[in-house]
Amino acid sequence: MSASPRFVGLDFGTTNSALALLDGGARDPSLVRFADGVGGETATFRSVLYFEEDHVDGRAVLTSLAGPEAITRYLASNGGNVRLIQSLKSYLASSLFTSTSVFGRTHTLEDLITLILRGIRRGAVSSLGPVDAPVRGAVVGRPVRFANSDGEADEALALKRLTSALGRAGFEDVRFEYEPVGAACFYESTIDHDELVLIGDFGGGTSDFCLMRVGPGMRGADGRARIVGTEGVGLAGDAFDSEIVNAVVSPRLGMGSEYRSFMDGKVLPVPPWIYAKLRRWHHLSFLKSRDTLRFLDDVRVQSTTPERIEALLHLIEYDLGFPLYRVVEGTKVSLSSHIEAPLRFVDGPVQIDERVARAAFEGWIGASLDAVRGCIDRLLATTGVSPRDVDRVFLTGGSSLVPVVRSIFAERFGADRLRGGNELTSVAHGLCLRAAMQ
């Protein structure tokens, strides 16, 4: 370990996480590189957990992995006795989610998040030192509004849970900072004059906004005094993916179709709650119960579209939610640069091969876009700031690249004021700079 001061910025994300370090004497933070599971390196750590149950000498042994290594092992498992869990951050503010059972063993939400954070520590051991050595003084990002939060009590619960998990993973004396403030500090490092900047940070589960004064003349000022206002809404990239699934994938798996009841012969719709689970790939495993599978098999026999219910059963039985959503996410990304993109997922009876138009996608996410617009309007109204007074708009996060998202800001502030860059790592970089400032 270096004897010089070390500053740490951790962006623990719903979908991806990143870690940045700044050693005393260095000018710029460096991003920690993680093994990607296939022989390369990546600056982002996928916020996922993998569980695998084996039996050794008649005794059940549970193995857990996190990040890129978890994904590699999951994809190689071919849907065996395994489970993949993601988007845990989105449950931090929910008092309804206290624990879950993984192969018959109870894990609290804090247990699961701790495993991900420990995975980050293990992946960064060459940068942070031994896993059992505490990391002190880290600045950790938090959303302006946690997903599923209905008030201050939920916000406090989320921070309490996250603080507990961080401590158990070896991150001590943690300070929290709003994620868009981290992005603002990153942007500030790229300019040589003072500005009033609007930060838009689009994560996997939340969209956060911050009006902040940045620039050389502001760096010595108290951090809170530089923040003009913040706002946030609990939806972002995951919600965009789910709309593609609902519009393109679910109908090919029987959504909207009918079956003849085996009880009284009435023609009934296939229950919508089944497809509600499909809107989040990590909820697909909740359908893999004996009762649900038996019910769907009965539906298949009496269905007007049995081949589609057969495809749904195949998707559930072989735990294909993650690879399906990788295809969906790829389609979404492609639509950022093309007016049309393919969505092709073929596995056994699952035969989905469609073209998705950008215009249709923009219509599907209309409600989410309205929520973003409302969030920006509230921020401007509560701060008394006019759009013409905002010098720059810095957008970060994967969904900030979606053209219709960028158009919201172009319409209000002018396309010439929009800036971006380092969409998946700018928050960690800025949080590290924030640690040095403090």
What is the pTM (predicted TM-score) of this model?
0.87
In one letter, which amino acid is 192?
D
Contact criterion met (CB below 8 Å) for 52 and 63: yes
Per-residue confidence (pLDDT) for residue 64, from 0 to 100? 93
Count of CA atoms in the C-beta half-sphere (13 A) of 103: 18
Domains of the chain, residue spans:
6-176
User: In this structure, what token pair is assigned to residue 141?
Assistant: 């990002």
Distance CA 276, CA 196 (A): 41
Task: Check: CB of residue 311 under 8 Å from CB of residue 349.
Answer: yes
Residue 24 to residue 433: CA distance in whole angstroms: 12
6-176: in CATH 3.30.420.40: yes
- Of the candidates 119, 19, 44, the residue with the CA atom closest to the CA atom of residue 8: 19
pLDDT of residue 188: 92
HSE, side-chain direction, 13 A CA sphere, residue 250: 23
> Do the Cβ atoms of 316 and 284 come closer than 8 Å?
yes
Tokens of 395: 């957008």
Instruction: Give me the pLDDT at residue 261, please.
Output: 87
Determine the pLDDT at residue 2.
Answer: 45
Q: Print the SS3 string covering 300-361.
A: HHHECCHHHHHHHHHHHHCCCHHHHHHHHHHHHHHCCCCCEEEEEEEECCEEEEEEEEHHHH
Provide the pairing of β-strand 195-202 with 175-178: unpaired
The tens place of each residue's pLDDT in the chain, 438 residues long, gives 445 568 999 999 998 999 999 987 678 899 999 988 788 899 999 999 999 988 788 788 889 999 999 999 888 886 667 888 888 999 999 999 899 888 889 999 999 999 999 999 999 888 887 877 888 889 999 999 998 899 999 999 999 999 999 999 999 889 999 999 999 999 999 999 999 999 999 988 889 999 999 998 887 666 677 899 999 988 888 899 999 999 999 999 999 999 998 778 899 999 999 999 898 876 787 788 889 999 999 999 999 999 999 999 999 988 888 889 999 999 999 999 999 999 999 999 999 999 999 999 999 999 999 999 999 999 999 999 999 999 999 999 989 999 999 999 999 999 999 999 888 899 999 999 988 887
